[in-house]
């Protein structure tokens, strides 16, 4: 994010949510606590609220999504807002309309919040600089750079399973170089104070040395998983890798796939995370993905709760600015 742009308002409250980089740990904790209140037991009716009554939330996703898009829509509806899903690939953008003209058009229809996923770095902040004062912009995933609500839902899942962050060893495995999930997890977990972050990946999937400050890099998965409390698996982001680059899935699975045998090297109570979508048999075996240590489906449930918390927080901040 450019240093002259802030995603906070003058009261220090959320105005937009574009990145977790530099976001105060206290604000993150507030969002995690608020999200906890939106959760329910399986089979119960999900909590609802009127925090966004009369608002309109628009999802503008220029890259594929199941979890993020659906959960933002459900979060908006459960808080009483209208939800609009614009299929960007079927919108007038393909006829040459610019992103800003698209935003101004929807703003004229009284959209209050834009949730944007885009492959172009910087575009979400660019939109945030141009919306009207009362309008907020949330990143639903920006290129390989940032996926803030994913970082928060991952932190919430770890907090629920481990009771906090202190003393935890977290191992992130796979295509970290192209992963916005890993970057946002790093921002969140560093701010919330885990003991150690380990990265393990083949050379071509490791991030540049200047990134992931404080993390310890491994080449061997067997070493990186020793005594880990949390194992976060990532898929290979083929959409961000040159078509000529090939990875043999069987070879990859052998070296960087999470199997039950490999998981046994972690702490016995370690949890297994994956942001989805999964490629079973490549980065993770079905035995582990569906096994007792997997919290992958809980991550999905937490995703709705975190997105409700972010939307409710934006609404509260707006009410304070314009009572
Ligand atoms: N984790 C995540 O961003 O999933 P989707 O691409 O399905 O939204």
148-189 tens-digit pLDDT:
999 999 999 999 999 999 999 999 999 999 999 999 999 999
Task: Give the per-residue pLDDT at 247.
Answer: 78
DSSP bridge pairs for 217: 199
Are residue 156 and residue 274 in the same domain, yes or no? Answer: yes
| Residues making up the chain, counted from first to last | 323
CA 30 to centroid of ligand 1, rounded, Å: 23
Quick one: 214 and 79 in the same domain? no
Cα of 276 vs centre of ligand 1, distance in Å, is: 6
What is the spatial distance between Cα 34 and Cα 312, in angstroms, rounded to a whole number?
A: 9
Residue 243 pLDDT exceeds 70: no
Same domain, 201 and 261: yes
**pTM, entire model:** 0.96
What digits encode the pLDDT tens for the residues 38-93? 999 989 999 999 999 999 999 999 999 999 999 999 999 999 999 999 999 999 99
Residue 181 and residue 81 in one domain: no
% pLDDT > 90, the chain: 93
According to the model, what pLDDT value does residue 245 have?
63
Among the listed ranges 2-6, 79-83, 99-103, 167-171, which one has the minimum average pLDDT value?
2-6
In a domain, 34, yes or no: yes
Query: What pLDDT, on a 0 to 100 scale, did the predictor assign at position 244?
Result: 59
Query: Average of pLDDT values for 287-309?
Result: 98
User: Does residue 17 form part of some domain?
Assistant: no
Residue range 15-41, pLDDT digits in tens? 999 999 999 999 999 999 999 999 999
- Any domain includes 18: no
Q: How many domains does the chain have?
A: 2
- CB-ligand 1 contact for 68 (6 Å cutoff): yes
Q: Which of 62, 63, 67, 278 to mutate to test the pocket of ligand 1 (most atoms within 8 A of CB)?
A: 67
Protein residue with its CA nearest to atom 5 in ligand 1: 65
Same domain, 248 and 277: yes
Residue 186 lies in a domain: yes
1 occurs within a structural domain = no
Tell me phi and psi for residue 315, to 5 degrees. -65, -40
User: Which DSSP helix (H) or strand (E) runs through 302?
Assistant: helix 296-321
277, 279, 307: residue to mutate for ligand 1 pocket, most atoms within 8 A of CB: 277
Q: Given a cut of 90, is residue 263 above it in pLDDT?
A: yes
Ligand 1 contact, 302 CB (< 6 A): no
Q: What is the pLDDT of residue 3?
A: 83
Pair 101, 164 in one domain? no
Q: Is residue 239 assigned to a domain?
A: yes
Determine, yes or no, domain membership for 91: yes
Q: Are residues 65 and 164 in the same domain?
A: no
pLDDT tens string 106-156: 999 999 999 999 999 999 999 999 999 999 999 999 999 999 999 999 999
Whether residue 42 is contained in a domain is answered as: yes
Q: How close is the Cα of 146 to the center of ligand 1, in Å?
A: 12
User: Do 163 and 73 share a structural domain?
Assistant: no
Within this chain, do residues 179 and 242 fall inside the same structural domain, yes or no? Answer: yes
Residues 161 and 116 occupy one common structural domain: no
Note down the domain range covering 250: 148-296
Q: What is the CATH number for 311?
A: 3.40.50.1370
Please tell me the predicted confidence (pLDDT) of residue 42. 86
Report the 3 state secondary structure along the chain: CCCCCCCECCCCCECCECCCCCCCHHHHHHHHHHHHCCCCCCCCCCCCCCCCCCCEEEEEECCCCCHHHHHHHHHHHHCCCEEEEEEHHHCHHHHCCCHHHHHHHHHCCCCCEEEEEECCCCHHHHHHHHCCCCCEEEEEEECCCECHHHHHHHHHHHHHHHCCCCCCEEEEECCCCCCHHHHHHHHHHHHHCCCEEEEECCHHHCCCCCCCCCCEEECCHHHHCCCCCEEEECCCCHHHCCCCCCCCHHHHHHHHCECHHHHCCCCCCCEEECCCCCCECCCECHHHHCCCCECHHHHHHHHHHHHHHHHHHHHHHHHHHCC
Is the domain of 166 the same as that of 136? Answer: no
Shared domain for 167 and 286, answered yes or no, is yes
């Amino acid at each position: 994010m450019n240093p002259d742009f802030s995603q906070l308002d003058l009261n220090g409250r959320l105005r937009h949510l574009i990145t977790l980089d530099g976001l105060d740990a206290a604000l993150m904790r507030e969002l995690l606590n608020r999200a906890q209140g939106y959760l329910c037991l399986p089979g119960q009716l999900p909590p609802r609220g009127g925090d966004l009554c009369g608002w309109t939330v628009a999802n503008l996703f220029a890259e594929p999504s199941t979890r993020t898009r659906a959960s933002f829509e459900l979060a908006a509806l459960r808080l009483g807002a209208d939800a609009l899903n614009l299929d960007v690939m079927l919108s007038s953008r393909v006829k040459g309309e610019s992103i800003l003209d698209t935003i101004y058009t929807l703003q004229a229809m009284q959209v209050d919040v834009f949730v944007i996923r885009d492959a172009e770095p910087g575009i979400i902040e660019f939109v945030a600089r141009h919306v009207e004062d009362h309008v907020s912009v949330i990143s639903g995933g920006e290129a390989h750079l940032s996926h803030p609500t994913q970082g928060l839902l991952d932190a919430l899942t770890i907090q629920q399973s481990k009771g906090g962050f202190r003393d935890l060893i977290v191992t992130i495995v796979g295509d970290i170089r192209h992963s916005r999930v890993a970057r946002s997890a790093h921002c969140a977990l560093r701010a919330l104070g885990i003991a150690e972050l380990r990265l393990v990946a083949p050379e071509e999937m490791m991030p540049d040395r200047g990134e992931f400050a404080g993390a310890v890099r491994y080449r061997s998965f067997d070493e990186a998983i020793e005594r880990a409390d949390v194992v976060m698996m990532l898929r290979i982001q083929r959409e961000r890798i040159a078509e000529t680059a090939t990875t043999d899935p069987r070879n990859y699975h052998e070296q960087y796939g999470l199997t039950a045998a490999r998981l046994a090297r972690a702490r016995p109570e370690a949890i297994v995370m994956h942001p989805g979508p999964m490629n079973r048999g490549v980065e993770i075996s079905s035995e582990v993905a569906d096994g007792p240590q997997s919290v992958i489906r809980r991550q999905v449930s937490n995703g709705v709760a975190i997105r409700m918390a972010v939307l409710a927080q934006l609404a509260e901040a707006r009410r304070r600015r314009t009572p």
